Amino acid sequence: MNEIITTFAQALEKADVKPDQVCVPSDILFEPETVKRFGFDYFHTTRGRAIAFGTGLKLANPALKVVPFAGDLMTIGGNHFVHGSRRNMELTVICINNFVYRKIAGKSAPSAAQKFSPYSTFEEPFNIPHLGNSCSAIYTARWTALHTEELAASIAEALGKKGLSVIEILAPGPDYYTGISKVNVDLVRFYYDNSEIRNNEDPKNVGIKPDSRIIVGKFTSKERPTFIDQYNAQLSSVLGEKFIPHGIRSGADPGGKNGGD
């Protein structure tokens, strides 16, 4: 987790985004200590609501860069992901996948799954980039936490894009699930060693299956008007001059540094 935040900070630098424009709403499963040090605003929200909370931040102040970090994105927060992608809300979604629901390549992930499913799991996992792409997300990628350079490059690229991007990061669960951090290191090493970079691969082929290589890479990148762009276009075509485009009054801080109207 903390390593991912460090990589994220490198990506901000790379993309030339100042930390104080950045808001990171996260859901419950993601709460790294290091977020205190990098100078962006962090919100530890309720289970699965990082994207919903982030949607509110973005719509109330379109000048913000909102980067939801999600740990329970595909379960309790699944609907928000699907609709956020469909609307093309301007969010850079970082989804940390620790395989709570899946054993991988014959090895059971040392995560909450062991406690909840002592006899291992058998459910099919989501193919997150494929789901995002089918819901019209404009950018999809997957890396392991050890692909630090590629990951930082992907995040930086996604931050520059207008719309919903999703970057899946394969990373072990937090230390308190595994007990010994050595297990974490071993496991993330295992993900890394068993991965295969296939940039531009069709996301429908990148599902994670037991006993096969993990496909990582930057899969898709396209352009599509954002929610706010579409909203402004639609409303001005109907209301004409009566319409005050979104972001004029609620946006880039009319009332000075702290205030607003």
Partner 1 sequence: MKADQRDVLSGVYYIDGDVAAGYGALAAGCKFIAGYPITPSTEAAEAFARIAPKSGALFIQMEDELASVSAIVGGAWAGAKTMTITSGPGYSLMMETVGFGAMLETPFVLLNIQRGGPSTGVPTKTGQADMMQARWGSHGDYGLIAIAPESPQELFDYTIKAFNLAEKYRCPVMIMSDECVGHMTEKVVIPPAEEIEIEPRRWYTGSPDEYVPFKPDKDLVPRMVKAGSGHKLYISGRLHDERGYPVDDEHYKLKYVRRLVDKIKCNKDKIIELKEEQIDDADVIVVSYGISSRVAIRGIEMARERGIKVGSLRLVTVWPFPDERITELAKKVKALVVPEINYGQVVFDVARCCHGNANVVLVPHGGAGVHVPDDICDAIVSVAKEERKIEEVIEFKTKLEISVFGGGLKSKE
The least CB distance from residue 29 to partner 1, in Å, is 13
Tell me if 46 contacts partner 1 by CB under 8 A: yes
Q: Is the Cα dihedral 195, 205, 26, 8 positive or negative?
A: positive
| Segment near partner 1 (CB under 8 A); pick from 44-52, 138-146, 154-162, 174-182 | 44-52
State the binding string over 237-256 for partner 1 (x if CB under 8 A, else -). --x--xxxxx-xxx--x---
> What is residue 147's DSSP assignment?
-
| Integer Cα distance of 111 and 154 in angstroms | 26
Return the number of the residue (51 or 187) whose C-beta is nearest partner 1.
51
| Segment near partner 1 (CB under 8 A); pick from 56-64, 131-139, 141-149, 218-226 | 56-64
To 5 degrees, how large is the angle CA 83–CA 217–CA 188?
95
DSSP code string of 128-143: HHHHHHHTT-SEEEEE
Tell me if 45 contacts partner 1 by CB under 8 A: yes
Is the distance from CB of 11 to CB of 39 less than 8 angstroms? no
Tell me if 8 contacts partner 1 by CB under 8 A: no
Q: Which one among 2, 13, 56, 180 touches partner 1, defined by CB under 8 A?
A: 56
Tell me if 233 contacts partner 1 by CB under 8 A: no
CB atoms within 10 A of CB 212: 12
Token pair listed for 122:
């058998």
The least CB distance from residue 58 to partner 1, in Å, is 8
Q: Which one among 1, 12, 17, 25 touches partner 1, defined by CB under 8 A?
A: 25
Q: Tell me which residue has tokens 């205030």.
A: 259
Q: How far is CA 13 from CA 9, 152, 153, 159, 225, in A?
A: 6, 10, 10, 11, 26
Return the number of the residue (211 or 241) whose C-beta is nearest partner 1.
241
Tell me if 40 contacts partner 1 by CB under 8 A: yes
The rounded Cα 235 to chain-centroid distance in angstroms is 30
List beta partners, residue 168: 95, 142
Q: Rule CB under 8 A: which residues touch partner 1? A: 20-23, 25, 31, 35-36, 39-46, 48-49, 52-61, 63-65, 79-80, 82-83, 231, 235, 239, 242-246, 248-250, 253, 257-261
